[in-house]
Amino acid sequence: MKETVDLYAKLVIGTFSFIGPSFTLLIPLFYAAIEKFREKHESQIKNLQKIIQDSMLKEGNFVQQIEVGSKFLKAKVKANKKELNLLDPKRQIRRLFRSLFGAILLIIFYYFQKSHFWPYNYQAIRVTSIALSILSFLYCLHVLWQIFCTIIKAKSEEEKAKPSRNISLKQKKL
């Protein structure tokens, strides 16, 4: 058990030392793609809100269609806002480091309980602190996964949007 906890502690500290340089490299490398992706989501939200507003003005004629349509459009607005949050680097770093610090502090608390400075001997508290630390660390991994997926999506959208990939119509010469 002692070796397992030591190994887990090393894993958390290793993750902590990996995240700093990764983010320092990733964000400037993909900043342009992230910004374009963010602009796209912002314009999608604006257009969706315009459609919802205009639908309300036409309510008398298409009541049921508006009800059904608004439900889907509002779900799209919600999904876009979630994507925008994922594209905010400061917000994501805060989420990541809060959970990681939480995991580390709980491990430190576990080791402190095993020292002679801690007068009590409750197995339940030690197990709880390790369990909470693991949950915090798993949440941190989940946030990391979300960030990497968002960056990959932003980059692939940038590639898809390149003009050479699509044939477009020309304007008619007058």
Q: Which residues bind another protein (CB under 8 A)?
A: 36, 39-40, 43-44, 47-48, 50-51, 54-55, 58, 61-62, 64-66, 68-69, 72-73, 75-76, 161, 163, 166-174
Q: Rg of the chain over CA atoms, in angstroms? A: 24
Give whichever of 48 and 103 is closer to another protein, judged by the CB atom: 48
Give whichever of 41 and 95 is closer to another protein, judged by the CB atom: 41
Distance CA 96, CA 105 (A): 14
What are the structure tokens assigned to 17, written together?
Answer: 């030392």
**In the complex, minimum distance from the CB of residue 148 to another protein, in angstroms, rounded to a whole number:** 23
**In the complex, minimum distance from the CB of residue 65 to another protein, in angstroms, rounded to a whole number:** 4
Distance CA 76, CA 72 (A): 6
Give whichever of 38 and 126 is closer to another protein, judged by the CB atom: 38
**In the complex, minimum distance from the CB of residue 174 to another protein, in angstroms, rounded to a whole number:** 7
* Phi/psi at 146 (5° precision): -60, -40
H or E segment at 34? helix 2-57
Amino acid at 134: I
Give whichever of 17 and 171 is closer to another protein, judged by the CB atom: 171
